[in-house]
Structure 1
Amino acid sequence: MKIRIANTERKEGCKLLCLICEAPLSHSLSWETFFFTHDEEKICGECKEGFIKIKGTVCRKCGRLQDGEKLCTDCLKWEANPKTRGLLEQNRSVYLYNPFMKEVLARFKFRGDAEIVHAFAPSFVRTFQACCRHTDAAIVPMPLSEERKKERGFNQAERLASLLKRPVIHPLIRTENEKQSKKSRAERLKQKNVFKTDKGSVKGMKILLIDDLYTTGATVHQAAQCLKADGEADSVSSFTLIRS
């Protein structure tokens, strides 16, 4: 599936164009589009098919697609370590990390195309409603360093969190700006904690972290450790757009 860099307006005359490939969008209605018209009209059917939703049995902890609900190999390691055991209650994600998603995510994060968030909106919101609708947890977007946010112009986790139409808080501060995508799996697992928060900043609260990609789990576990140890959170879970 070919991806073209779309223009800012995503319009051609009076026609709306797909946010991803710039194909003209149809305006056929369905019960699905009746409820999500604004977002559904921003991506064509072919590009929607390029995103693979996580369906079926997943690891009960991190949401990785697998044969059974038992803990996956990554989660067994996190839970075997006394320092990380129980830090994260649960993670759930919407999509798998396939080549098409990899390219779209690169445009979203690294090429400044913030409007691509609307390509994910309907599925992101529906999955949240299915997995987390009844949670009373406070929404916390994973922060970027100030340097990285200035470079990109926005925080992709904040853009995703805004789709949920819930109050958002920002207790975490990121203390380093090195790109996680440039690090190997081993480097991510070994790096020191890159977050800080004020003492008691989320005391007694349930926290739901929002991020774009769950890979090794190192980032969310670091954030959870900071929020529980220093912020004094009661519990920390996460909801991400993608599970690799």
Structure 2
Amino acid sequence: MPNNPFTNRAAPPVTRSEPVPVGLFLAARSGPRRAGFARPGVPDWHGLSPVDLAYLIRRYTRVGSVVLDLDGHPTVAAAARYLRRAPAKLVTRRGVTRLQVVPPPARVDRPRRVVSGSGRGADLIMLTLPRAGANSLDPHGLTHAMTGWRRLLRPGGHLLAALTAQGPEPGTVGHRSTVIAAARAAGLLYHQHIPLLLVPLPERDPRTDPNPAAEPDRRLRHGRHLPAFRDLLAFAGTTSTTEEATRG
């Protein structure tokens, strides 16, 4: 596993007795920092700024790694090339789906080398849930989809899933719990939970405000709370005994 993106120590393997580490991306109070690859108009990645997205990709990959974004988001490809990673896409021919590295524009240098993933799978897969054929509240359909994505990963690669759905109705199982259970059933290891804050933290706890009525509540829309954060779940691919023997 890579170093934990939010500590300087290597993250230990996740076991049943060890809690999954939690990271946190804070929302900027002023304008976000400019990334070296971010041209004007380059969008955030589902609430994550381009510079934070590049940081995340850098921590989960290395030079030459293959990065597959199932949504084809332009900022992911731009960040991957800037970091000298190889963005890829899925190509289906004659019923067979495989990875294909996207050639860079003529003005962009190619990665120095592909250290892994070429012909063996992606080092990092990024996606959003729910999506067509993978409802984050349907454990059976999601497990089937997760199994297919796991097969696209090289041994030891990682899958990052951003949950874009609102919370379920009261009394039902949440999106995050369903995604984690489906990923584990598909053979992935739950590696990390990273909440992405979409709004800056308040200067003080609203519950301690002596005059709360003096401040208009901009956190509600049609009587419901506006989303303040987005869950990003990281899963690690596993390596079987046979795969380890082949690699050795």
TM-score (norm 2): 0.30
Q: Which has the higher strand share?
A: 2
Return the index of the structure with the highest Cα Rg: 2
